[in-house]
Amino acid sequence: MRASKLFFSAIMILFATVLLAAGVATIMLPSITPLRDAIITAIEQGSPPVYYTGLSLIALAITIFVIMLFTERKLTIRTVMGDDTVAVENSVISGYIEDYWNNTFPEYSITTEVIINRKGIEIIATFKTQPTEDEEELLATIEQGLTKILGDNFGYTKPFIFTIRFLGEGPCPLQTSPARRP
């Protein structure tokens, strides 16, 4: 699990817990007269705990907002095309790869996930059915096609990781293969 997803999961759990506690407190508050009177008095007098609670909530909200801005960046890979450096999003790469699947292997239902991280590009292809071709030959054909797509369209010449999965089958001996430029 990526760190940003873990962070957002933790925030959602915290937020749900706070909402649950606020709901229970709201239901219970009318029946606990001393607590209700103490809260009303603290709010009316503008006591420091109320002020610091509000200030803490504002600081927490700003912190969450800033962290969300930094962790929800679009994932891009920077490549050199001609004289320019270009940032390419993973959705653009996915589109080209989906076109490749539709043109090269129209008989198969293939889904693709493109992951961009600091190490480079990882392409995960999931075949919904077991291919009938020789797996070694199929893998070589796919790697050549993906290398050509990345090189010709995006100027990406570094090695990438290609993972192929077959649904409903056991682990394939060809699951992970680092592709290299010829």
User: Would you list the DSSP string of 151-176?
Assistant: HHHH---S-EEEEEEETTS---TTSE
Quickly state the pLDDT bin for 175 (edges 50, 70, 90): very low
Long-range pairs for 27-30 at CB < 8 Å and ≥24 separation?
Answer: none
Q: How many residues does the chain have?
A: 182
The whole-number pLDDT of residue 171 equals 42
Q: Angle CA(72)–CA(75)–CA(138) in degrees, nearest 5?
A: 135
Counting the structural domains of the chain, the total is: 2
The reply to whether 99 and 162 lie within a common domain is yes
The whole-number pLDDT of residue 134 equals 75
Of the three residues 28, 56, 71, the one that is the final residue of a domain is 71
Of the three residues 71, 99, 128, the one that is the final residue of a domain is 71
The whole-number pLDDT of residue 97 equals 92
Of the three residues 34, 49, 71, the one that is the final residue of a domain is 71
The reply to whether 98 and 55 lie within a common domain is no
The reply to whether 49 and 31 lie within a common domain is yes
Instruction: Give mean pLDDT, residues 138-161.
Output: 87
Burial 90-101 (b: 16+ CB within 10 A, else e): beebeebbeebb
Give the whole-angstrom CA distance, residue 102 versus residue 94. 12
48: containing domain: 3-71
Give the whole-angstrom CA distance, residue 161 versus residue 166. 17
